[in-house]
Structure 1
Amino acid sequence: MKTINRCGICDRNTTEGIHIYQLFICESCEKEILETEPGDARYSFYINKLKNITPTKIHS
């Protein structure tokens, strides 16, 4: 059974995508991020959204 996740970029619910620490990114947003050039207006939007990635703390 696949788990439905909410994309941290577009806020859509989907089962397909990747987790980077605690942030889920759907396949379509992942593709858009990879294809966006630094000069593109969407680039800063994606950078701001990706700032929400927080590493998981490992307690030993």
Structure 2
Amino acid sequence: MTEELQCYICDDETSTGILLLNQYICRNCEEELVNTPVEQLKYEIFRRKIKDIWRQFLQEA
């Protein structure tokens, strides 16, 4: 049985995705992040979420 985790970006609970600095990102968000052009607003949202992950990681270190 696979454990479902809550995505840091979209809050969905899935069992397929990646861990980035101890934060889970679902497969859908990962693919969308990689394929979103930098000039789109959605890219800026992803960028800010990843920046938040880095900040949390550095505070915990």
Q: TM-score, normalised by structure 2?
A: 0.82
Q: Distance in 2 between matches of 1:12 and 1:52?
A: 18
Query: Equivalent residues in 2 for 1:8-23 (5 A)?
Result: 8-23=8-23
User: Number of residue pairs matched?
Assistant: 57
In the TM superposition, what is the alpha-carbon distance from 1:52 to its structure 2 partner? 2.3
Unaligned runs of 5+ in 2: none
Q: Distance in 1 between matches of 2:7 and 2:22?
A: 11
Query: What's the CA shift string for 1:12-55, capped at 9, x where partnerless?
Result: 00101000111100000000000011101101100111112225
Q: TM-score, normalised by structure 1?
A: 0.84
CA RMSD between the two structures: 1.4
Unaligned runs of 5+ in 1: none
Q: Which of 1 and 2 has greater Rg? A: 1
